[in-house]
Amino acid sequence: MNKKMIYVLAGLFIALLVISYVQKSFDRATGSPETLNELSLTFDSEMVSRIDVFKQDYPDSGLHFVKGETGWLVANEYNSPAKETDIQKLIDDLGAIGGSVRGESADLYEDFEITDQKALQIEFYDIDDNKLLHLYVGKGGGTGRECFMRIAGSPVTYLANENFISRFAAWQASPEKKLPTDRWLKLNLCDIERNDITSFEIVRGKKHYVFANVDEAPEDTLAPPAKAWKQILPDKGLKLEERKIRSLSSSIAGLRASGVVDPINIEKYGLNKPKNILRAGDIAGKEVEISVSDPVNDDEERHVRVKGRDTLYKIDKNAFERFFVKPFEANK
């Protein structure tokens, strides 16, 4: 066999290798059926007791969750209670995630925004600070329901079938921007359901207004008594109409804070002797007491304390006026 023939055969062999590699890469890039479930994460969801979500160069702008005795807390928001269902959904979704391979080279990290600096990193730890999971999450996929990611220690890039970059509102966000915490915080101020409230009280300085959902005798003596909201106190002066009282009871049940603040301020701005208090109760005797401070800034935001909780909340001017101002404006 002459040299020319050897060179030809060697060239054909190299060409076949190139074609095979290109075909393999194409199959992965197009998400052929056999690659759709190549991404699989292995960790014990019951062992997760800490979650860190952050950009590498800006850890203070991230989110940090810890599992306390009473449930999940947002550690970097003064250990305020987190939404249990949302934290559990994050853990469950990562445990069930699937996806296809999109590359096997670190050269692609920049294109997928999963470099150490650009990626949103998610870490799970157990109670002894042993790392259970470490992910680098990049930009979203074309459908908006996917995102690129890689697992720490592996060069493989996946297109995951869940969009975790959007879940943390980090899509196209500058790396130093703090991840929003309000979507993860438990900000409801009243623990009584709307239909279970049977009485409530509004304290405005020296004035106390008491309202109750009472039985009202029907015109038809054979019919059962009907429920109606009534103002019990004061029995003189301004009396609120039944529709306005009913609206207030619903608003109390749905009252949410706009955020949380440092509990060190709990004795400031009049919360040691609050002038404005909301109380609500149900038929079983459960009571919620919400104390509201004086204005704390030029925007007239106020601090809020709920009896029995360690968290200090804040509400805006509109939320305050909804209960303590507008209901008592004449003919409105």
pLDDT in tens, 136-159: 999 988 888 899 999 999 999 999
Amino acid identity, position 179: L
Closest Cα partner for 120 from 134, 106, 107? Answer: 134
Is 295 in a helix, a strand, or coil? strand
State the pLDDT at residue 2.
58
Closest Cα partner for 31 from 157, 139, 117? Answer: 157
Enter the DSSP assignment of 110.
H
Is 213 in a helix, a strand, or coil? strand
- 277, two tokens: 């208090």
Is the full-model pTM beyond 0.85?
Answer: no
CA angle 31, 32, 38 (to 5 degrees): 70
State the pLDDT at residue 91.
97
Average pLDDT, the chain: 87
Q: Where are the domains of the chain?
A: 45-167, 194-328
CA 306 to CA 302: how far, in whole Å? 13
CA angle 83, 89, 92 (to 5 degrees): 145
Secondary structure E strands in 181-225: 197-204, 207-216
CA 325 to CA 44: how far, in whole Å? 51
CA 196 to CA 194: how far, in whole Å? 6
State the pLDDT at residue 21.
45
State the pLDDT at residue 225.
73
CA 80 to CA 66: how far, in whole Å? 10
Count CB atoms within 10 A of the CB of residue 223. 9
Calculate helix-pair angle for 242-253, 317-324, nearest 10 degrees.
Answer: 140
pLDDT in tens, the chain (332 residues): 555 555 555 565 565 554 544 344 333 333 333 344 489 899 999 999 999 999 999 988 899 999 999 999 999 999 999 999 999 999 999 999 999 999 999 999 999 999 999 999 999 999 999 999 999 999 988 888 899 999 999 999 999 999 999 999 887 777 788 899 999 999 999 999 999 999 999 999 999 999 999 987 666 666 677 889 999 999 888 899 999 999 999 999 999 999 999 998 788 888 989 999 999 999 999 999 999 999 999 999 999 999 999 999 999 999 999 999 999 886 55
State the pLDDT at residue 306.
96
